[in-house]
Amino acid sequence: MTDANPIGLSIRNGSKIYPGTQALKNVDFDLRMGAVNVLVGENGAGKSTLMKIIAGVEQLNGGTIEIDGQQVVFADKTDAAKHGVGIVFQELNLFPNLTVAENIFVGHEKTRAGIHIDSQAQRTAAAALMKRLEQNIDPDTPLGNLRIGQQQIVEIAKALAENARILILDEPTSALSAAEVEVLFRVIGDLRKQGVGIVYISHRLEELIRIGDYITVLRDGAITGSRSMQGVDIPWIVANMIGSASKEFPKTGDHELGNEVFRVDNVCLPSPAGGYAVDHMSLSVREGEIVGLYGLMGAGRSELLECIMAQHPNSSGQIFIGGKPVKEKSVSGRIRRGLALIPEDRKRDGLVQIMTIRENLTMSSLYDFTRGFHLSLKAEASKAAEFVKRMAIKIASLEHPVSSLSGGNQQKVVIGKALMTRPKILLMDEPSRGIDIGAKAEIFRTMRRLAEDGLGILFVTSDLEEVLALSDRVLVMANGRLTGQFPAGASAAEVISAATPNLNRVETQ
Amino acid sequence: MSSIDASGNAKTVIGGHKSRTSALLLLLHMRTFVALILVFAFFAIAAPNFLTTGNMLIISKHVALNAILAIGMTFVIIAGGIDLSVGSIVGLCAMVAGYLVLYGIDLGFVGVAYSVQFNTIEICLIVLVVGIFIGWINGMLITKLNVAPFIATLGILYVARGSALLFSDGRTFPNLAGNPEYGSDTFRIIGSGTFFGLPVSVWIMVVVALGAAYLATRTPLGRHIYAVGGNERGAALSGVNVDRTKLFVYMFSGLCAALVGLIISSQLQASHPATGETFELNAIAAAVLGGTSMSGGRGRIAGTIVGAFVIGILADGLIMMGVSSFWQTVIKGLVIIAAVVVDQVQQKLQARVVLQQNAN
């Protein structure tokens, strides 16, 4: 075993102290070559810190790093890259204004004579990488035109272009559809055969068990379990991660569903590439019902929610709330009618990072605290404090910038902001993206509770397990159209086949 | 984890080391104010006639002009924009005011041989509307036609300056004494009058500053200005009317510029088309010195006022000490850069303190 997978990099007694917190406590970590080393732990457990140290982004305060038995100290990321370490960060580090090819080679451009960028060579190499990743992406496309899932693929291509011997993937699948995950796994399999040592971080436990060869579990900056993947199951991982096994999904409530509260009728959005991004979509949601909208990346789910939230002036179709047509063309008008959106990209669309937690929570409901034009800060603060309590958001002070919170708590702020407008229908785009298991479970419980209180919820997800466990009804979209509709308890196979229209030629009329 | 009580105040235990950090942070937070006290104290000692009532009044009159412009500029910058046209709007509004005082509006162009004359209040209202209108043009260019704020207001800078020159063919409107017959002889009060011992222009600054501070902190519109500058898309998805908010800040900036145009033409009893040249740069400097972030979303009216005073006192104090105007310019530049450097240090320290509190 050891011979087949030699240790390529090891950390002994590694410690990392940030002001006020110890992110890593005397960690011993071995990275095996030609294998997938999975790393798992809750948010804040120290996974990302450990990876940043291996990639040279951060330095250890104590302990040593060895590569092939030689002690090394990485000055920075470039230094680590020279030693063959490549990393794909959880947060994308790409340039939307540059093309795919330019993004892949940024910082190590292919040049002639050291100054002239050889665009042709870059384009060819980028096209080859896209082919290897089985993506139909033109290297000359500006990156900003791609969906987040496709951007993630480009990020992976960027690391591959540097011929990394050690490749760190931090949550690479959080934005990918099932089909894109399969592609990624095949690529990882190829790299493993070529002897590359892969570190794979994910919150999706089934994925880890499927792809991992070795597993390391972190909790509060210390390693709580480390072994070969043989015989590891989800309860073992969860037990090491959070101490005791917990149930991720709350039971589906057996409360009565109310009347239809929300209806979308024949919504169309022309696609800039021709055809429709949203193609004559109709659906409805009842009071107290959680409707899961499943589909692959690019199926048009997010675009549908954006149309509902008045983000596309050239969309057509009608929406109804409580049977009455919604004519308002502005976001604030639609919020007043009882719509609320939890956007997919929390950082870009959900929050104003430099503003305080209080200001973010009350952003959509300021007029509730306003008489004439006077805003009562007292009423605002007490309402914000009430929602902090209600959503169980962990904060030190309402007046801290929202950027100081963890992903899960930031998401709760976004949800709190939406709920403060007293919506009748809540639209959630990938509500659990990029947050840890504990916070995820809490978000799901919150969704259940809200539904029991009579709120209608329409949520978009790329996580099959999530959509099956959480929904009262599952809708499936593909190529902008509704391709399937299933009651709770549908089988995974049915849902997947509806989401992959190439396998499914059944008429949906 | 600290707990939150009902009013949202955090109960945190502050240890010895931390209190030193927070004392430093407080000092950094008040840095512009500290700078003001230092500059003031320095000139009080070094320049003999600095601490006289007469000199204080002169300084405050100078500061008022820049401060009023800088208040408008602060809103524009907080909303993520920039307004380069304010200096030219000052010039154009001064010319409009001068023209109205001297000639009124001649109705010859509609075929009536009669000219309408205005009293002081009417003149002021017309000039303010002109300033707001130019701000509205800036705002429409930026929101509806998607022109970058830098370019839109740079264009209007030239248009407004050119219009000011066209107004009088480049000449000065002299002797704006007004005419008691029309009720415009009171025009001089705006620039030269006093009220409770303070110049009227200083009172105008106080009223504008208090109004703006109230708007910024106690109204939804003020909050929206910060939100639009902090994350435009996020604000839009939260139901903030981004276009209306932007339109407002440019119109408000235009209003502030019109006020300054009125004050200057009244003060000088004359309108010159070059009035207000490079005023926009001083306004930006005061805002930045006062802690307004050029990337938007951050800034306070009080900071801007203090910033304007630092610049004003520095300029007048250096003149009194006989420092050459070339050196004055160099010193002003260095002070602005130092302010921004200190601001960066404060941001870093603040983020660290918040992280610490969250970790506990």
- Rounded Cα distance between B127 and B138, Å, is 17
Rounded CA-CA distance B139/B247 in Å is 4
- Name chain B contacts of A335, Cβ cutoff 8 Å: 239
Half-sphere exposure of A183 (CA within 13 A, CB side): 22
Whether A251 is in a domain gets the answer no
Is A359–B223 a contact, with Cβ atoms under 8 angstroms apart? yes
Residue B111: CB atoms within 10 A of its CB come to 6
What CATH number is associated with residue A45? Answer: 3.40.50.300
- Lowest average pLDDT, out of A133-142, A158-167, A250-259, A428-437, goes to A250-259
**Contact: A309, B237; criterion CB under 8 Å:** yes
Question: Are A278 and A229 contained in the same domain?
Answer: no
> A370 and B219 in contact by Cβ < 8 A?
yes
Interfacial residues of B (vs A; Cβ cutoff 8 Å): 1-2, 4-10, 12, 217-224, 226-227, 230-231, 233-241, 297-298, 351-352, 354-360
Which chain B residues have a beta carbon less than 8 Å from that of A343?
Answer: 237
Residue B281 has pLDDT above 90, yes or no: yes
Contact A181, A464 (CB under 8 A): no
The confidence score (pLDDT) of residue A317 equals: 92
In a domain, residue A345? The reply is: no
A contacts of B239 (beta carbons < 8 Å): 330-332, 334-335, 363-364, 421
Place of tokens 């050690």: A166
Residues A136 and A227 in one domain: yes
Closest-CA distance, B197 to chain A, in angstroms, reads 32
- Which chain A residue has the Cα nearest residue B230? A352
The string of pLDDT tens digits covering residues A459-494 is 998 777 788 888 999 999 988 889 989 988 777 777
pLDDT digits (tens, 9 = 90+) for B192-206: 888 898 999 999 999
- pLDDT at position B307: 93
Count of residues in chain A: 509
Is the pLDDT assigned to residue B96 strictly greater than 90? Answer: yes
Region B174-191: mean pLDDT is 85
Give the whole-number percent of chain A exceeding pLDDT 90: 34
CB atoms A348 and B10 under 8 Å: no
From chain B, pick out residues whose CB is under 8 angstroms from the CB of A375.
218-220, 222-223
Query: Do the strands A260-270 and A276-286 form a parallel or antiparallel pair, or are they unpaired?
Result: antiparallel
Would the CB atoms of B297 and A354 count as touching at under 8 Å? yes
| CB-CB under 8 Å, B241 with A341 | no
One domain, residues A207 and A322: no
Which of A432 and B6 is assigned the larger pLDDT? A432
Cβ-count burial B242-264 (b if 16+ within 10 Å, e if not)? bbebbbbbbbbbbbbbbbbbbbb
Residue B27 pLDDT class (50, 70, 90 cuts): confident
State residue A251's pLDDT score. 59
pLDDT at B285 exceeding the cut of 90: yes
First and final C-alpha spacing in chain A: 56
A336, A356, A366: best to mutate for the B interface, most B CBs within 10 A: A366
d(CA B4, CA B185): 61
Instruction: Average the pLDDT over B137-157 and give the result.
Output: 96
Distance CA B87, CA A341 (A): 43
B352 contacts in chain A (CB < 8 Å): 19-20
The Cα of B128 is separated from the nearest Cα of chain A by a number of Å equal to 23
Q: How does residue B1 score in pLDDT terms, banded at 50, 70 and 90?
A: very low
Residues 6+ apart with CB under 8 A from A431: A342, A411, A415, A443, A447, A459, A461
Domain boundary among A381, A405, A422: A422
Q: How many beta-carbon contacts under 8 Å exist across A and B? A: 134
Q: Are residues A408 and A268 in the same domain?
A: no
pLDDT bracket for residue A244 (50, 70, 90): very low
Neighbour-count burial for B196-212, b at 16+ CB within 10 Å, e otherwise = eeebbbbebbeebbeeb
Tell me, yes or no, whether A51 and A93 share the same domain.
yes
Asked whether the beta carbons of residue A396 and residue B10 sit closer than 8 angstroms, the reply is: yes
Neighboring chain B residues of A417 at a CB cutoff of 8 Å: 238
Closest in A370, A389, A395 to B220, CB measured = A370
Nearest Cα residue in chain B from A345? B234
Candidate from B8, B218, B359 with C-beta closest to A375: B218
Of B220, B230, B241, nearest to A330 by CB-CB distance is B241
Which residue does chain A place closest to B217, by CA atoms?
A375
User: Are A348 and B231 within 8 A, CB to CB?
Assistant: yes
Q: How far is B9 from chain A (nearest CA, A)?
A: 6
Q: For residues A67 and A211, state if they share a domain.
A: yes
Extents of the domains making up chain B? 56-284+293-304
Check pLDDT > 90 for residue A298.
Answer: no
Average pLDDT over every residue of A169-189? 79
Are A349 and B233 a contacting pair at CB < 8 A?
Answer: yes
Query: Does the beta-carbon distance from A404 to B355 stay under 8 Å?
Result: yes
Q: Which residues of A touch B4 (CB under 8 A)?
A: 385, 388-389, 395, 397-398
Same-domain status, A434 and A444: yes
Q: Is there a contact between B4 and A388 if contact means CB atoms under 8 Å apart?
A: yes
Q: What is the mean pLDDT of chain B?
A: 88
Q: Is the pLDDT of residue A419 over 60?
A: yes
Pairwise CB contact (< 8 Å): B235 & A363: yes
Quick one: A147 and A226 in the same domain?
yes
Tell me which of A422, A439, A460 is where a domain ends. A422
Averaged confidence pLDDT in chain A? 84
**Judgement on whether residues A120 and A203 belong to the same structural domain of the protein:** yes
- What does the alpha-carbon distance between residue B195 and residue A255 come to, in Å, rounded to a whole number? 71
Same domain? A405 vs A438: no
Backbone angles phi, psi at A67, to 5 degrees: -120, 125
Is A344 within a domain?
Answer: no
> What long-range pairs does A89-95 form, CB within 8 A, spacing at least 24?
A89/A155, A89/A170, A90/A48, A90/A170, A90/A171, A90/A174, A90/A201, A90/A434, A91/A347, A92/A148, A92/A151, A92/A152, A92/A155, A93/A155, A94/A143, A94/A151, A94/A154, A94/A155, A94/A158, A95/A143
Q: How many CB atoms lie within 10 A of CB B191?
A: 20
- N-terminal to C-terminal alpha carbon distance within chain B: 5
Residues on chain A touching B237 (C-beta within 8 angstroms): 309, 311, 331, 341, 343, 349-350
Q: Where are the alpha helices (DSSP H) in A345-436?
A: 357-361, 377-390, 407-420
pLDDT of amino acid A3? 58
Are A118 and A112 in contact, with CB atoms under 8 Å apart?
A: yes
Give every strand in the sheet of A21-32, ordered side by side: A21-32, A7-18, A62-67, A70-72
DSSP, collapsed to helix, strand or coil, labels residue A419 as helix
Higher pLDDT, A111 or A375: A375
Contact (CB<8Å) A394/B1: yes
**Is A407 inside any structural domain?**
yes
Residues of A in contact with B235 (CB under 8 A): 352, 363
Same domain, A237 and A264: no
Residues of A in contact with B349 (CB under 8 A): none
Rounded distance between C-alpha atoms, residue A163 and residue A156, angstroms: 11
Please give the residue of chain B at the shortest CA–CA distance from A416: B238
Residue A32 lies in a domain: yes
Out of A238-247, A395-404, B49-58, pick the least confident: A238-247
pLDDT in tens, A346-362: 888 999 998 999 999 99
How many domains, in total, are found in chain A? 3
Q: Would the CB atoms of A404 and B6 count as touching at under 8 Å?
A: no
β-strand pairing of A260-270 with A374-375: unpaired
Which residue segment(s) compose the domain that A361 sits in? 351-422
- Percent of chain B at pLDDT > 70 equals 93
Helix (H) or strand (E) holding A113: none
Q: Does residue A270 surpass a pLDDT of 70?
A: yes
Please, which pLDDT band fits residue A364 given cuts at 50, 70 and 90? very high
Beta-sheet pairing, A473-478 with A316-321: unpaired
Indicate the range of A448-452, B137-141, B182-186 predicted with least confidence.
Answer: B182-186
Residues A391, A332 share a domain? no
- Would you say residue A248 lies in a domain? no
Closest residue in B to A402 (Cα) is B354
